[in-house]
Amino acid sequence: MENYEREEAQLLACLFPSIAAQLRGMLSGLYLAATALAPAEAREKDPELDRRAARLDQNYYQLLRLVNCLSAAARLDAQTPLPIQDCDLVGLVQETCDEAEQLAQLLNLELKFDCALPQLICAVDPDSIRQLLFQLLSNAFKFTPAGGSVTVTLKRQDDHALLEVADTGCGIDDLQMKVLFDRYAHKELRDPPPHGLGLGLPLCLRIAEDHGGRMMAESKLDAGSRFTVRFPIRHANHSNLSDGMFDYTGGFNRALLGLADALPVEAFAIKNR
């Protein structure tokens, strides 16, 4: 059974990126056509046109986010090192939370960043850390009802950095907790469309492991969930070169892209960009 699962993971890692590459080309053509039919100037003058175009944009961003997950699936079985560089984690996490805060307000959620550190320099891949955080925020936004809160915490514990995302949402049952980081292999436990592949948390786990760390989850039904990423504080004299890339934004709003599955259509209106 273990060998079968290993072979299946290798097949997915090879197949998904190839599918994603083909889909990305088709999506680019569709987006260019849609932009020509509903340019920003026309949308600003016509609220009804903007409302219809926002729905199209929402679907486009959701599809692009799915394509990115398929592309990143290669990381699940890859041994390619990340292109790490010295980075201020406080600034990186603060910036990501700032980008997501306005979108949280559209869901009537309070997003808080709790950090007592003025700065925390650590060798990381900024794009991967940002993607991990957007994935955890997306999950928190999706499963926290209006009026709830999501708290991002960054702190130092000895020679390790701890990044936590906690919510006051519906929580996770025991059955899903057992396979939380490999739900893509359990189709009966995947979320319904449009967010149903179950690749997000396995990719987050891989990002944590690629930084020499680990990821933990705790949850209580009707009380919320907490995800903690713990990795060593290291420093790099130079950036490692790598062809690996987790995230692709193509010039699009990265917060909208990272949170596309969790947002209402209003988030994609011109006035909220």
pLDDT, tens digit, 9 for 90 and up, residues 9-40: 566 667 777 888 888 888 989 889 999 999 99
Mean pLDDT across 195-221: 88
For the stretch 34-80, pLDDT in tens is 999 999 999 999 999 999 999 999 999 999 998 888 887 777 766 77
Provide mean pLDDT across the span 82-107.
Answer: 95
Render pLDDT for 144-178 as a digit per residue (tens, 0 to 9).
999 999 999 999 999 999 999 999 999 998 888 88
Note every long-range contact of 97-104, with CB atoms under 8 Å and residues 24 or more positions apart, other chains counting: 97/133, 97/152, 99/254, 99/255, 100/134, 100/137, 100/255, 100/258, 100/259, 102/272, 103/141, 103/255, 103/256, 103/259, 103/263, 103/267, 104/141, 104/150
Q: What is residue 160's three-state secondary structure? A: strand
Q: What is the pTM of this model?
A: 0.86
Question: Burial of 273 by CB count in 10 Å (0-12 exposed, 13-18 middle, 19+ buried)?
Answer: exposed
Do 225 and 157 form a contact (C-beta atoms < 8 A)? no
Query: Token digits for 35?
Result: 């932009």
Determine the distance from the C-alpha atom of residue 262 to the mean position of all C-alpha atoms in its chain, rounded to a whole number: 11
For the chain, domains (ranges, CATH) are: 85-238+254-259 (3.30.565.10)
The predicted structure's pLDDT at residue 242 = 40
| Cα 77 from Cα 59, distance rounded (Å) | 29
pLDDT digits (tens, 9 = 90+) for 217-247: 999 999 999 999 999 999 986 544 343 344 4
The pLDDT score that the predictor gives to residue 105 is: 96
